Amino acid sequence: MTVLLLGGTSDIGGEVAARVCPGRDVVLAMRNPSAGTEAEKRLLERGAKSVRSVAFEATDFASHRRVIEDAGDVTTAIVAFGILGDQAKAEHDEAEAVRIATVDYTAQISVLTVLADTMKRGEIFAFSSIAGWRARRANYVYGSTKAGLDAFCQGLADRLHGSAVKLITARPGFVIGSMTEGMTPAVMSVTPDVVADAVVHAAQAQTSTTVWIPRRLRALAAVMRVVPRALWRRMPR
């Protein structure tokens, strides 16, 4: 019964792992395994049976199945890697646009497909975002990847229906953490621990589910759909 965290240094992923690790083996998959020392120590302090860090490169699709299968009997998978990227650069540099799309969408559907194919039971945590609900001028490249990932997760949840594996899809608002350091928090911002509490609680359900974090964000999302485009294009990140 292994916990696999893809994105071993992720703020949100680490918080989720800390809540589900007691008495279990944990595998932290990240680009630089030597960076996992602090995360390993924290999880052991939180009751993990064992913790090890392994190399994982999101853009190396051919390695995904091997990394996941080598992790052991995965019963909890946390797909928490990703980048914000540079929106301003991506508007003129196709390589940056493709880099964001590759890490935040293509690599995500790759590992989610492998997890759904190999896991016999348990839960998969995936992270969408309010940014994908309606893409904004200020961050449409990142937002488009979240829109695609959200749609993929809806279909994957239906595919897993009736099986012993469930998919918990998080739709948080602005998350205050290392990825957004230096940015001004948006309305209804949350912290990684709040996101983790919400998705771990949602995993207690018997089936796949999607979680707005915070819950009242659902009401804001409904309003977002009807804002006139002339006004919407001036909305900040």
List the catalytic residues.
142
The amino acid at 87: Q
For helices 140-160 and 107-118, the axis angle rounded to 10 degrees is 10
Give Cα 159 to chain centroid, integer Å: 19
From residue 21, alpha-carbon distances to 44, 79, 127, 199, 218 in Å are 8, 15, 19, 15, 30
Sequence-ordered list of residues with C-beta below 8 angstroms from that of 71, at least 6 positions apart, any chain: 2, 4, 27, 29, 54
- Residue whose pair of structure tokens reads 């948006």 in the numeric block: 186
